[in-house]
Structure 1
Amino acid sequence: MKKYRILSSLFLSLTSALITLGSPSALSAQQPELVYRLGLEQRPTSPTSWGQGAAHITALQPESPAARAGLRVGDLLLSIDGVMTAGLSAREVDELLQRPTGMHLVTLRRLGQPKPETLLLIPEAKSRAARTERELARAYAAYSPEDQAEWPLSYQLSYQVQPGFDFATVRRYAFAPSSEQNRELDDALYSMIARQLQALGLQEDKAAPDLIIECYYELQPTASPRLDAAKPAQSLRYHPEEERVQLLPIIPEAGPDEGSYQVKLSVQMTRPTEPQRPVWLAETREGLSEPMTLKDFARYTLPVMLRPFPFAPSGSRQHFTARCSRYLYTGLHYALEDLGRVVEVEEASPAFAAGLQPGDRILAINGRTLGDIDLTRLSEEYRRFVRETGSYREAGPFGYWSPKAYGALRKAFASQPYSYLFAFRPYVSEDRGGLLTLEIERSGERYTLQLQPELRQESTLIPLDQ
């Protein structure tokens, strides 16, 4: 079986992980003392497609400034602070967003809306010498691969788009009629498609649609399957609704006669006046090592297949990074060189409401004393923890904890000061994210504060070549 790699190598130095995470991929400021984060990925569009060369958003990080501002995947970024993006490379657009400013005025265009819209985009700013709980959770990925992992994914997806078609005219869609024999499956597929299109601002209208949508599918045994024992019989696939990665019986890069079954699925969109000429078409053909229902296959495939609409990525294989991130958030920023000291407290956060202040020293979290929090020693303790708990993991590609070892794991976590980040998992705490009790020192005085953390789910799928 092919081996997959957890986000942070289990034996990666915690020091290296924390320092690396100090340079956000989304946005870095020019000032040495601050870094900024927007939480978006973008690519230029084709000059002949919808967008006419402007940048468009390909991924958004949940709970990010870009997501809170109301941006959506698929939005066209027409201009940033008055500078048009048409004709600019992705790097040049990133440079516009990296300029040291407290806010950006962004003009964007969306499907289903006749006029451009202007939004104010305010980046998050933090000290370069501080680490957020998001960054700590990623650095401590080996604590909980279920919650902090990054997986490379590959899908056999191909696209076609009608040259010159103006998607600015598209507001409404309708689904092609189903036969009685196929109605149940069609209804399930159409429901998945409708959720995706409604998120883009399009509305279903059977009376006056701009586009007619139809699905074509086929699942059948392979007549004379060609099986390669040396080739993996399963693939990792992202479940968009559950925000997690699973191993499915899909043969990686299967040929036309590989696997016990062949599955085909396509989504075709046409104008009512030209039903034989697709304006947008997406298709996948996969080999299966074991049977799957078409409905189950579509649950994993359709949302990813529709993600680029109305654009048409080139090639027959699309590559993604699935970033799974779940952790408990309080709003504290810890000093990189002294992880027991609070550098900043985010406004309106649980820590802010509880009365935590910059400069506070955290002595213990839920009775777990921080003690000597030198990065070198923390790294040594982290590596030791990983080595000593290796036998508690299940076999397979994920490295998840075995439920049989939860009791032993709770004891192993007892001395880990930042394991509260994953406290909603039963192997750490049976209360799954109850109140945190922090013992702090402020101006020579000691205090005990309680706060209720928030569960943050920030999983996302990032296209690599669109």
Structure 2
Amino acid sequence: MKRIIIVTALCLVASLSLMAQKVGVQSSRCEVGLLYQISYQTNWGDSRAVVVEVIPDQPAAKAGLKAGDIIETINGRNTQEMSEEEINRILLDPSMGSVELEVTNFGYRNKRMTIQKQCVPAQAVSEAMLARAFNMYSVEDVTTRRFTMPYGYRAPEQIDFAQYRTFSFASGRKPTILERSIYQELLQKGLKYQVKGGDLVVAIQADLTANPNYREGAESDIEKGLKNYRFNAKTGDIQQYPFQSINAPSFIGSHLLTVAIQISDAKKQKMIWSVQAKERLNSPYSLETYADNFAPLLLSNFPFLRYISNPTFVLHKNSYRSIGVFFDANDLQRILWVEKGSPADRAGLMPGDRILTINGLPLESTVKAMTDGYHAFLRKSLFFRDEESRFPSSDGFDGNKFWRLDKYKEVAELMQEPKYKGAFTYLFSHRPYVHDPIIEDVVVEIQRGGEVIPIAMKPVLKKEDYIELM
């Protein structure tokens, strides 16, 4: 499988210091906010670019693109005839403010869409970047977590899936409680539902039985660290589940839960795609709840199959409060760009203004000063974190821990100490461990000419969370 390309001009750097060293190579950069892959399948895409993820609130999402869309053409050129380098160059070219696409999915063929790029100065630091760089203020909001699901897929028949438009359930009835989440997910993919006579017939089989390999008492011999954390599609969060880890031996878990989805061509009466989940656990579990929580993951490989077994996912969680300013990487006090229509724009902030404080905390001009204060805060606050919540992020760092519920007041007091340079805590100021009580407004002191002006704004909460199938 070819590498998934992240089509975004965000500098994905280990630290803001590294970014400050690299700026100046080009005058501007553009963001479009999608992930795509060149298809290697005749079933879906056939050597064209296929969208695999769309980042919320980014230009591609605003244009209406969805995961699974086949990009037929870019500015009139067939993507079958384009290299990844050419596609990236056009999508990210700052000399073109927009790009025209023709897109195919179950619900449309060669639909025209226009992506209006967000182009900013090359050294501009966005609030999304700052939220990732200072994420230990609130790993509850910003983190990446990897997990694997025990799914097996059947390789699809060599048939063009784009020909299908409608689906029905094999029962010939309206969706049952078990089927409703699958029904919603197929609608999201562009298929239309018919009670009977759909192009595709969907059959769901679900069972909870005794595990024939189970050995009573064997759990005591297994490493206790094999906790099973997964993404819950209903809540949008990672949570612990009672299922055994995919790495646990087959004799662990007294129950075996199986959910299978089979999709068939109605006319040919031939199965063209299927997935089966096999879970082991030590107590009964609702099959309907399982389908509700995991339908998007079960169908993540439909129609564009990228895994045959045990797919690995990464949750990119990136929620933060935004006022809509972009900071200068070489001088963090300087506003380099202001997002049109943002709270900062409406409040009258302009490029060239200098921000001296945010919510009363000093904003230093150098990346080093801000990160030094941040690191000092992390060392001081170490014992306010919940050791039981420790988890690894997708980059391998295993020291992520949530704040202790009984220490929120102490954490908030520590964050507000000026010596720790916590100006960027405003990104998470909707949390009680940042401000107690919570402060609704963000107040900045700007220097414009020789005058210092306080300006209050109501930030917007941005949730740019998405799941990536690795």
- Name the stretch that deviates more: 66-75 or 205-214: 205-214
Shift of 1:430: 4.1
Cα deviation for residue 387 of structure 1 reads: 0.9
Is 1:460 the equivalent of 2:466? yes
2:41 counterpart of 1:42:
no
CA–CA distance in structure 2, aligned partners of residues 317 and 89 of structure 1: 30
Number of aligned residues = 438
In structure 2, distance between residues paired with 1:263 and 1:74: 29
Partner of 1:441: 447
Q: 2:327 aligns with which of 319, 330, 334?
A: 334
Deviations 1:295-354 (A, max 9, x none): 333233221111231122243121222111110011001111221211111111110001
- Pair 1:360 & 2:353 matched: yes
**Distance in structure 2 (CA, Å) of the matches to 1:165 and 1:16:** 43
Structure 1 equivalent of residue 131 of structure 2? 137
Q: For the residues of structure 1 that align with 2:429 and 2:326, how far apart are their CA atoms?
A: 18
Whether the 8 Å contact between 1:44 and 1:88 is mirrored in structure 2 is no
* Alpha carbons 2:20, 2:329 under 8 Å: kept: no
1:242 to 225, 235, 246: 235
- Counterpart in 2 of 1:4? none
Q: 1:267 aligns to what SS in structure 2?
A: strand
1:325 and 2:314 matched: no
| Deviation, structure 1 residue 88 | 5.4
SS at 1:187 equivalent: coil
CA contact (8 A) 1:158 1:283 kept: yes
What are the superposed Cα offsets for residues 2-44 of structure 1, whole Å, 9 maximum, x if unpaired? xxxxxxxxxxxxx9512456899xxx9x961212211111112
**Structure 1 pair 187–255 and aligned structure 2 pair: CA distance change class (3 A):** farther
> What are the equivalent positions in structure 2 for 1:321-400 lying under 5 Å apart?
321-370=314-363, 372-395=364-387, 396-398=389-391, 399-400=401-402
Q: Equivalents in 1 of 2:439, 2:52: separation in Å? A: 33
Q: Quote the residue 2:110 is aligned against.
A: 116
Deviating more after overlay: 163-172 vs 128-137: 163-172
**Which residue, out of 269, 275, 282, partners 1:282?**
275
1:157 Cα offset (Å): 2.0
The match for 1:409 is 411
Q: How far apart in 2 are the matches of 1:253 and 1:377?
A: 44
Once the two structures are superposed, residues 251-310 of structure 1 have per-residue CA deviations (whole angstroms, 9 ceiling, x without a partner) of 1234544323222111111233444x2122111212235543323332332211112311
- Percent identical residues: 27
Q: Return the match for 1:297 from 266, 285, 290.
A: 290
Q: Could you tell me how far 1:218 is from its partner in structure 2?
A: 1.7
**What residue identity is the alignment partner of 1:413?**
M
- Considering Cα pairs closer than 8 Å and 6+ residues apart, tell me whether 1 or 2 has the greater RCO: 1
CA shift digits 1:136-189 (9 cap, x unpaired): 11111100000010112212222225423232332211122289xxx9xx7233
For the Cα contact (< 8 Å) 1:232–1:252, is it kept in 2? no
Q: Are the counterparts in 1 of residues 252 and 280 from structure 2 also a CA contact under 8 Å? A: yes
Q: Distance in 2 between matches of 1:222 and 1:400?
A: 35
Is the Cα contact below 8 Å between 1:234 and 1:252 reproduced in 2?
no
CA contact (8 A) 1:161 1:311 kept: no
The 2-side partners of 1:23 and 1:176 are apart by 59
Give the conservation status (yes or no) of the 8 Å contact 2:30–2:93: no
**Mapping of residues 225-264 of structure 1, within 5 Å:** 225-226=214-215, 227=218, 229-230=222-223, 232-250=225-243, 251-254=245-248, 256-264=250-258
How far 1:224 sits from its partner (Å)?
4.1
Question: Retained in 1: the 8 A contact 2:107–2:165?
Answer: yes
Mark the runs of 5 or more structure 1 residues left unpaired by the alignment: 1-14
Larger deviation, residues 80-89 vs 440-449? 80-89
Distance in 2 (alpha carbons) for counterparts of 1:209 and 1:243: 31
Tell me the C-alpha RMSD between the 2 structures.
2.6
Structure 2 equivalent of residue 78 of structure 1: 72
8 Å CA contact 1:433–1:453 kept in 2: the answer is no
Aligned equivalents of 1:21, 1:40: Cα separation in 2: 22
Change (3 A) 1:72 1:22: farther
Q: Distance in 2 between matches of 1:148 and 1:92?
A: 32
2:300 maps to: 307
Q: Distance in 2 between matches of 1:291 and 1:89?
A: 50
Kindly state the Cα deviation for residue 94 of structure 1 after the two structures are TM-superposed: 3.0
Task: Tell me, yes or no, if the aligned pair for 1:23 and 1:35 is still in contact at 8 Å.
Answer: no
User: Given residue 111 of structure 1, which amino acid in structure 2 is its aligned partner?
Assistant: F
Give CA-to-partner distance per residue, 1:53-75, whole Å, 9 cap, x none. 21111111111111111101110
| 1:58 lines up with 2:47 in the alignment | no
Paired residues of 1:48 and 1:163 also in contact (CA < 8 A) = no
Moved more, 420-429 or 249-258: 249-258
Q: 1:50 to 1:303 in 2, by over 3 A?
A: same
2-structure distance, mates of 1:373, 1:248 = 45
1:166 to 160, 164, 186: 160
Cα distance change on mapping 1:412 and 1:460 into 2, 3 Å: same
Residue 179 of structure 2: SS of its match in structure 1? helix
Match of 1:216 in 2: 205
Amino acid at match of 2:469: P
1: CA distance between counterparts of 2:412 and 2:156?
57
1:97-143 superposed Cα distances (whole Å, 9 cap, x missing partner):
33443221111111122x31111112211222221111111111100
Partner of 1:8: none
Is the partner of 1:198 in helix, strand or coil? Answer: helix
Offset at residue 231 of structure 1 (A): 6.8
Distance 2:246 2:168 in 1: 34
Q: Distance in 2 between matches of 1:274 and 1:234?
A: 44
Unaligned runs of 5+ in 2: 1-12, 392-400
Question: Aligned letter for 2:194?
Answer: D
Distance in 2, Cα, partners of 1:151 & 1:336? 28
Q: 2:427 aligns with which of 411, 421, 431?
A: 421
Deviation at 1:417, TM superposition (A): 1.0
